[in-house]
Structure 1
C-alpha cells in the first residue's frame, strides 16, 4: 500500500491520491482563469491552504516520525519550558494576560508551556490557538485533554485574530509557511515574476514581466539597497508580511510577539551567491526543491527575511525587542538550569543538543521579539542580541 494514502486518509475514506488529484484540478482551473500564468504565491497558497485539499488542511500526518518534518517542540520539552520562561517574564510585567499561539501543530508546545507556567504559578488567563487546519485543531484538543485535562478549559480555538489581546503571541515556524512571490532579474536588468503554468498535464514555471501588485516596487527597493541586481539572480519575497504584521499589531494592545523560524538578515538572505532563493519542500523527512511534485502532499517553505520582519513590525507599531539565534535565546531563558533541575535530565540531553548545536538548530533558527508597552530587556535576548545585523 502507498503509505501516503494511509497517512492522508480522512474519515470519509478520501485518500492522498484523490486529494492531490482534486487539488491539481483546482490549480488547473485557476491557471486557466489567470490566462495561463498563475503567480507563484497563489500556487503556494492553494498547495498549502486550499480548503479541504491543501497540505495543511487535508488531514495528513505532517509532524513527527510518521510525518514529513519535525519541529522544536516535538524534539524536546525543553523548548516549551524555555518559551514559558519568557512568557512568564512578560506576563508578570503586564500584571497577567493571555497567550495566543499561531499554528499550534500537534499541541505539544501548548501543553509544555501551560505545564511550565502552572509550575511557576504564572498561568495565563487563556491559552488561545489560531489554527487553520481542522484536523490539527482536533489533535490539539485531544492532546490537551489527555495531558493537562485540568487546564483544558483555559484553552480556546479562534477562527481569526482576537479583537484585543494583552499577553504573548507565539509563532513557531509560521512565517516560513507564508506564500511568497518569486522573481528573477533579466539580462536587461528588468524584473520578471515567476508564474506557474501547465503543459502536457504537468505544472511548470515560467517567467514574465512582474504583474502582481507591489512586486516590482518591492524588488526595486531591494535593488536600491544593493541587492538582487545581477542578471539571472532569482529569489523570493513575502509581500504578505506587512499586512500580517499590521493585523497582529491591531490585535495586540500590549505584550510580546515571539517569532521563531529559520532565516537570515537581509544581507545574508539576498547575498550574491544565493542565486536560486531559499524555497524548499519537505516530504517524508527529505528536503528537495520541486514544489510541483506531490501537490498537496508535501510542505513548501521559504526562509524568513528577518530584516523584512523587523521593518514590517516597526511600521505596524511594534518595537524591536531583540533578534538572536535559537541557541542564545534558549540559554538566555535558562535552558542550562532547566535541564539540570529536570529529574530526567539524562534523557533530555540529546534533545537539548539538537536545539542548541549550531550545525542542527542552534544557529539555523533565529528568534525575534516585537513588543508593545513592555519596558526593559527580555531574558531571551540577554545573552546575544544580533539586532545590529538586521
Structure 2
C-alpha cells in the first residue's frame, strides 16, 4: 500500500481524541457511570485534601498566594474538593483557573464549581491571564496526549485505512532516552515535549505537580510486549489492535515515561524537585494499587 494511504499513529490518536468528531470534543458523557472511565478524584477526596495542603505549603514557599491553574480538570470534582479543603479564608483569596477543551466537561466543571473559576482553552491563555506566575496542577492530564509508537528495531507504527498495523522505518526520531535501550514496543509523546517547549516555557514563576499513571522504562514496560497504549470503551480495557477500532467513541491512553518529562523540563529551565508515588504523596501504605502505580512529579520555575 502506498505510504500516502497510511497515517502515523500519533496523528490517528490526535484525530480520534481531538478531531471534529473526537472523543474529547464530542458532547457525549465520558466520566462516571455513563462514561468510559473514572478518575482518581471521583473515587476519593484524599487527593484533593493533600493537594489543598500542598497549595498552602507552596504559597508559603513562594511568599505569596499565586494563582492556581488546573490542567484537564475532568468533571470538576477535584477542583471543587480542593476549594472545600482550603478552608474559608484561603478560599476567599483563591484565584483558580481551569484549562479545558471539551465543551461538555466545561459545563460539568462550571456546575461543580458553581461558576467559581476562570476557564481557558490553553495553558498559554491561562498564563497570560495570571502574568505567567502560577501553581500548576494536573491529574491524569498528560496521558491523554497523542503518542508515536515504536518497536525496538526503530520502526514506527502507522495504520492503514482499515486500521491494520503497518511498521515503517522512521528517519526522524523524537527526543527520548527510551531509544538508548528500547523496550520491545514503546510510546513517545512528542506532543508533550511540544507542550513543554511551546507553553510551559512561558511560565516565569511557580511550582507544578503532575500526577499520572507511569514510571521509568522498567516499571511501565516490564512484561508488556505490546507497550502501554490501551483504550477504555464502556468500562472495558482494550489492548492493540482492538484499541484502534472505536475511534472517537473511546478514550485512548498510555503510561507516562516520567524520565522524558524531567528531560524536557530541564531543556526549558525547570528544576525537578521530586518524583514520588502517589502513596508517598498522600502518606498512605497503598503501594500495591493506584497509590504505587501513580507518580507525582514536582517541578518548579524560579523567577
Give the TM-score of the pair, scaled to structure 2: 0.90
Asked if structure 2 preserves the Cα contact closer than 8 Å seen for 1:91 and 1:124, the reply is no
Aligned residue in 1 for 2:168: 208
Match of 1:121, SS state, is helix
Counterpart check, 1:78 vs 2:46: yes
Deviation at 1:170, TM superposition (A): 1.0
Q: How does 1:97-246 map to 2 (within 5 A)?
A: 97-119=66-88, 121=90, 124-145=93-114, 152-153=115-116, 155-160=117-122, 161=124, 162-163=127-128, 164-186=131-153, 191-198=154-161, 202-210=162-170, 213-215=172-174, 218=175, 222-223=178-179, 225-228=180-183, 233-246=184-197
Identify unmatched segments of 5+ residues in structure 2: none
Aligned equivalent of 2:252:
300
Structure 1: state its 5+ residue gaps.
1-30, 146-151, 336-355, 375-390
Q: Report Cα offsets for 1:32-52 as digits up to 9, x if no partner.
A: 9x611100000000111113x
- Does 2:208 correspond to 1:257? yes
Structure 2 Cα separation of the partners of residues 111 and 142 of structure 1: 10
State the match for 2:289 in structure 1.
Answer: 360
- The DSSP-based 3-state class of the residue aligned with 2:51 is helix
Residue-pair matches, total: 295
Residues 1:120 and 1:360: Cα distance change in structure 2 (over 3 Å): farther
Distance 2:225 2:218 in 1: 13
SS in 2 for 1:240: helix
Structure having the higher Rg: 1
Are 1:373 and 2:302 counterparts? yes
Alpha-carbon distance in 2 for matches of 1:48, 1:302: 13
Cα RMSD of the aligned pairs, angstroms, is: 2.2
Shift of 1:214: 3.3
| TM-fit CA distance, 1:123 | 5.1
Contact 1:67 1:285 in 2 (8 A): yes
Q: CA offset at residue 362 of structure 1?
A: 0.9
The whole-number CA distance in structure 2 between the counterparts of 1:168 and 1:328 is 20
Given that 2:50 and 2:282 are in contact with CA atoms closer than 8 Å, whether structure 1 keeps it comes out as: yes
CA distance in 1, matches of 2:58, 2:93: 11
SS at 2:35 equivalent: coil
Q: Post-superposition shift, 1:185?
A: 3.5
Q: Distance in 2 between matches of 1:329 and 1:174?
A: 18
Per the normalisation by structure 1, the TM-score is 0.71
Once residues 287 and 124 of structure 1 are traced to their aligned partners in structure 2, the CA distance between those partners, rounded to angstroms, is 42
Q: Answer yes or no: is the 8 Å Cα contact 2:178–2:217 preserved in 1.
A: no
Secondary structure of the residue aligned to 2:164 is: strand
The structure-2 alpha-carbon separation of the partners of 1:44 and 1:80, relative to structure 1 and needing over 3 Å to count, comes to: same
DSSP 3-state at the match of 1:363 = helix
1:122 CA drift (Å): 5.8
Q: Secondary structure at the match of 1:362?
A: helix
- Select 2:26's aligned residue among 58, 61, 71: 58
Aligned to 2:224: 274
